Structure 1
């Protein structure tokens, strides 16, 4: 299965690049991630629990980085095994470019495949699940960098007249910005 998309991120490319290689950011972005350890040079080991249609499984896998062009692009290569549920493997090519507004345009192309019981579910279920997972990952990634969208938050209680609190920033932005 192949898919691609583009995301506008309101942060400079170097900040986005740094977050892309941060294990804590990645763990927060992968839906169902129970554990993630490792580093960009040796790769990351992950444990992810997911339900695809009627099949729920714990996947243990490895993600490595390849074709790294510092600050511009890389390829994430992953493979996970879910026991009797089967396996999933694939790669995502990610490319960053500076946007005119000072932000970043993130492009991604994903090619993924599954086997075992997962493959028996049918392409509509598996393709829909893969699209949802990719979309959720990049939405979470964007939120980690930009912070939550204030319009998505519930209306806060009225502030006291002397309250001068600033709007919340994502933790990456607090550290780097």
Structure 2
């Protein structure tokens, strides 16, 4: 199944949109049903991992903390995500690898997959941030190719697509609010410093 879309952020320049979308904690907080997104190694255990609570995001977080935890190309991340599709509400143990991160063109590519009771998926996805033609904001383009199998796949695209659209729309609505807060309350000096760190 293919999913794609775009949305615009008036008044939020690509540099600030990129910083927010580079922060796993900001992404986690904007993604309903996501318990954590954490760097993982070969010994990572989904059942035993306890995410750190109360982590701040911009504009309240320290710039160094945000830079230290930013997504890294080549790094694998564990994500625990619960998705409700009809009467099925599986909790997916997901592994995602950041394949590419280009801070000049504001592009990030990722791949991964996950399993839940009786269902699994694999995906390739990406996003690219463009400056609006009038220079007054950003246009974020995103896409995902996903292969879904098991109980959820049996429900069919007629059921899956609206649920996926709702998750994506909620995510971008939440992330837009974070970006607006960052744009209004974070000084350009902090943004420039983060851009250099990332």
Answer whether TM exceeds 0.5 for this pair.
yes
Separation of aligned partners in 1, 2:123 and 2:103: 22
RMSD: 1.9
- 1:58 counterpart = 2:94: no
Question: Unpaired runs of 5+ in structure 1?
Answer: 147-169
Q: Distance in 2 between matches of 1:30 and 1:104?
A: 20
In the alignment, the residues of structure 1 paired with residue 127 and residue 31 of structure 2 have an alpha-carbon distance, to the nearest angstrom, of 16
Q: Number of residues paired by the alignment?
A: 153
The 5-angstrom pairing of residues 44-83 of structure 1 reads 44-71=77-104, 72-83=106-117
SS of 1:55's equivalent? coil
What TM-score does the superposition give when structure 2 sets the normalisation length? 0.70
Match of 1:88 in 2: 121
User: Alpha-carbon deviations, 1:53-102, whole Å to 9, x = none?
Assistant: 11111111122222322242111223121122x11221222111111243
Hey, which of these two has a bigger chunk of strand by percent? Answer: 1
* Counterpart position of 1:23: 24
**Contact 1:3 1:109 (C-alpha < 8 Å) held by counterparts:** yes
| In structure 1, distance between residues paired with 2:182 and 2:18 | 15
User: What residue is the counterpart of 2:143 in the other structure?
Assistant: 109
Larger radius of gyration: 1
Instruction: Please tell me whether the aligned partners of residues 16 and 182 of structure 2 are also in contact (alpha carbons under 8 angstroms).
Output: no
Contact in 2 for aligned 1:15/1:176 (Cα 8 Å):
no
Q: Which runs of 4+ in 1 moved over 6 A?
A: none
Describe the SS at the equivalent of 1:126: helix
Secondary structure of 1:31's match?
A: coil
**Counterparts of 1:172 and 1:22 in 2: how far apart (Å)?**
15
Alpha-carbon separation, structure 2, partners of 1:89 and 1:173: 37
Q: Which digits, 9 at most, give the CA deviation of each residue in 1:94-131, with x for residues without a partner?
A: 11111124311111122122111111112211122222
| Cα distance change, pair 2–176 in 1 and its aligned pair in 2 (3 A) | farther
CA distance in 1, matches of 2:111, 2:167: 16
Higher relative contact order (CA 8 A, sep 6+): 2
Q: Which moved more, 1:34-43 or 1:118-127?
A: 34-43
Distance 1:24 1:173, change over 3 A: farther
